[in-house]
Amino acid sequence: MLEIHKELFLFPDAAHHLPEIDEWLSGDPPELFSIARHWFSVFRQCGADVNELLHDGCPTACIGGAAFGYVNVFKKHVNVGFFTGAFLQDPSALLIGEARRMRHVKLKPGDSIDSKALGEIIRSAYLDVKSRL
């Protein structure tokens, strides 16, 4: 069940390292799911308090039960998304979207990406949600 509180999306069912997420991340096509797997591992490495769940069919990273990021695979790209992305600093202008809170980065196989900048956005999203708890 989703609850919105203090600009946060709360998922009380989130748990630490779920096998069904590893199964989801091992899907086909491999060129897309390897991108998703890499970036979701970066979410998982943000801290010992990171939990996860499948929300709307895609892996979602939470601090406790407060969502801070997700990955999703589409036909030709992967989204790395942020529940409070509209509030994050993005000096490399990677974030796209027009929603009130959420933003994402679109990744395609073969495209270059500033991995350091995306890693910093992930860390920033983690710290942003942590500060709102």
Model confidence at 7, pLDDT cuts 50, 70, 90, reads: confident
Is the previous residue joined to 59 through a cis bond, with omega within 30 degrees of 0?
no
Ramachandran category for residue 128: left, alpha or beta (phi over 0 → left; psi -120 to 50 → alpha): alpha
Helices H, strands E: what count in the chain? 3, 7
pLDDT digits 0-9 by tens, 33-69: 999 999 999 999 999 999 999 999 999 999 999 999 9
Burial degree of 132 (CB within 10 A; 0-12, 13-18, 19+):
middle
Burial degree of 125 (CB within 10 A; 0-12, 13-18, 19+):
buried
Compute the average pLDDT of residues 78-92. Answer: 96
C-alpha–C-alpha distance, residues 106 and 81, integer Å? 9
Model confidence at 20, pLDDT cuts 50, 70, 90, reads: very high
C-alpha–C-alpha distance, residues 69 and 84, integer Å? 8
